[in-house]
Amino acid sequence: MSVVSEDVVFHNVTAGERVEGAAAFRADVAAVHERWPDLGFEEHALYITADTGVAEWTARATGSDGRRLEWDGIDVINCRDGRIVRNAVYSSGHAPRVLGS
């Protein structure tokens, strides 16, 4: 939370979720980790300019039915004065791959 601005906008484009403000962002991230307690990310690449970053990743978690799932995505992160002001997520989370059988 120390790296986000008070007016941060978190927009999960794929899931159709958008929250504004640091408190709403904190609550949204907490809810995601409550829903997916073992959620983890493997970062593949990170591209950074003075005020924008793009991270390519693969997420893995266990679904409510016990299946291991994974999906790919990117975050586009915009900064101002060294803090994140917008984080947009684009992913294949709507159609995750099932791992194993």
Q: Which domains does the chain have, with CATH numbers?
A: 4-99 (3.10.450.50)
Q: What is the pLDDT of residue 100?
A: 84
Task: Tell how strand 83-91 and strand 52-62 pair up.
Answer: unpaired
Residue type for position 43:
E
Q: Does the pLDDT value for residue 18 go beyond 70?
A: yes
Q: What global pTM score does this model have?
A: 0.89
| Residue ranges of E strands in the chain | 4-12, 17-20, 40-48, 52-62, 68-80, 83-91, 97-99
The mean predicted confidence, pLDDT, of the chain is 95
* Average pLDDT rounded to a whole number, residues 65-73: 96
Per-residue confidence (pLDDT) for residue 101, from 0 to 100: 60
Question: What is the percent of the chain with per-residue pLDDT over 90, rounded to a whole number?
Answer: 94
For residue 79, the model assigns a pLDDT of 97
Provide the percentage of residues in the chain whose pLDDT is more than 70.
Answer: 99
